[in-house]
Amino acid sequence: MRSFLKYFLLIICFTFNIESLVLASGGSPPPTKLNASPELLEKGKLLFLKFCAHCHGSRGGGDGFNAEFLDKDPAEFSNPKFLAKRTNEKLFRVISVGGAKVKKSHLMPPFGYTLSEKEIWSLVTFIRYLGKDKSLVNVPSNVQSERPRKPVLTKPDMLSFSKWFSEKGKKKEQIDSGKALVMNKKSCLGCHQLNDEGGRIGPSLNRSSFNYKPEWLYAWISNPQNFRPNTKMPNLDLRPEEARAITSFLISFQPEEKDGKFEIHEGWKQYLSSEGDPKRGEKIFHDPEGIANCSKCHLVKGRGGAVGPDLSFAGTSRTRKFLLESILNPSAVITHGYQAVMILTTNRKFITGIKKNEDESGIDIIDKEGKNLHIPREKIKKFKIQKISTMPGNFKDLLEIQDIRDVLAYLGSLTLPAITNSDN
């Protein structure tokens, strides 16, 4: 028994000395066990990967793909010295109210109007884990577990906006006010590009006036979760006058490059010279035996595929010119989140599809047949985002002019009742 105890003590001392040597030589400490429930930690990890990793990096090193486009380096959560200076309450506050409210970078958006208090505490927990910080994260007992809900814009709200926009939306004072908000006060440029400035998480805003209707921009930036509950774009809790001013600025914006003014191709104007038949356009769109067969890839009100963007309210959100461009030249602008990826596997096989998710386990895609595929990380040799749309680019040769007019008319009829249309 005495020899066993002696042997056991020797093992403990040897293990302790090895760990001390590793730390003294600058090596990484052993994995940290955080004082938190596994469920809270896992929830925080999923939220971090969705909302934070593109800037802060998947391991918290401040090296996310979007970091290079920001004026200020994102915080390094994997740095123990950084976390040692910040209490849990301080981390919770900056995540909730955003950088501007705590006198930090305005490019850090607020998440307190998008996520529940419990979800934000789970982010605090995971951030501590990234920094190998063993501090106990005490979640308050009265914490809210439901996500905040902002009132939905009503039809009177939208009618009021349309009237305001037609009377004041193009005035310089409104445009200048919106510019100040976008460029210097709100977190828009943390995710979106204007000219060559800004992030690459969301779609570029350089083509806002060509792509979007003003009503849609106003409704979307006022409450993005109302249209897409799982969108990555946080609710910025904009006041109505702020949302109006930002809309005015984006609708008036023209990029600085010489060919930055977006206009429809001269030869395409014949498609817009007269209205089409929406009923006939619907048949062309959904006919599985037809030349177009649009619904193979596009979803409309629960009907169709998921390879391309959902077009259920295309008539509300997009201009007629943009819809025409998307049909005749789909690679001109590929809707954010629908870029094709080409994957070369370790057994020299090429796989192409729309990338839907990427994490440490691998890449999830939807192939051209609409099938969901998961390619494990260890089987991926390399992959590349494609600049060419998976949508065929020869519809102007396959369809008659009237066919395209009819499809445009059908897409234009896909509207949300609470949002009115205006002539852009």
- Tens digit of each residue's pLDDT (9 = 90 or more) over 396-417: 999 999 999 999 999 999 998 7
Does 197 reside within a domain? yes
pLDDT digits (tens, 9 = 90+) for 7-52: 444 444 444 443 343 333 333 333 444 556 889 999 999 999 999 9
- List residues bridging with 375 in a β-sheet: 363
The mean per-residue pLDDT over the stretch 163-167 comes to 97
Do 243 and 314 have their domain in common?
no
Note the pTM of the prediction, 2 decimals.
0.84
pLDDT value at position 316?
94
Residues 64 and 58: beta-carbon distance below 8 Å: yes
Do 241 and 280 have their domain in common?
no
Q: What is the DSSP string of 60-105?
A: SSS--TTGGGSSSPPP-TT-HHHHHT--HHHHHHHHHH-SGGGTS-
Handedness of CA 356, 357, 361, 362 (dihedral sign): positive
Does 28 reside within a domain? no
CA 350/CA 355 separation, integer angstroms = 14
Do 240 and 374 have their domain in common?
no
Question: What length is written for the chain?
Answer: 424
Do 290 and 408 have their domain in common?
yes
pLDDT value at position 360?
74
Of 68, 97, 130, which marks where a domain is finished? 130
CA 130/CA 59 separation, integer angstroms = 6
Give the domain range for residue 347.
340-385
pLDDT value at position 36?
67
Do 82 and 207 have their domain in common?
no
SS3 364: strand
Do 396 and 300 have their domain in common?
yes
Residue 378 pLDDT exceeds 80 = yes
Do 121 and 70 have their domain in common?
yes
The mean per-residue pLDDT over the stretch 274-286 comes to 97
CA 32/CA 12 separation, integer angstroms = 19
Residue 304 pLDDT exceeds 80 = yes
Query: How many helices (DSSP H) and strands (DSSP E) are in the chain?
Result: 17, 9
CATH number at residue 69: 1.10.760.10
CA 271/CA 273 separation, integer angstroms = 6
Beta strands 197-198 and 372-376: pairing type? unpaired
CA dihedral (321, 325, 326, 332) in degrees, to 10, reads: -130
Does 6 reside within a domain? no
Do 179 and 245 have their domain in common?
yes
Number of domains forming the structure of the chain? 4
Work out the percent of the chain whose per-residue pLDDT is above 70. 89
Which among 209, 185, 192 is positioned nearest to 261, based on CA atoms?
Answer: 209
Which has more pLDDT, 264 or 365? 365
CATH number at residue 353: 2.30.30.100
Does 75 reside within a domain? yes
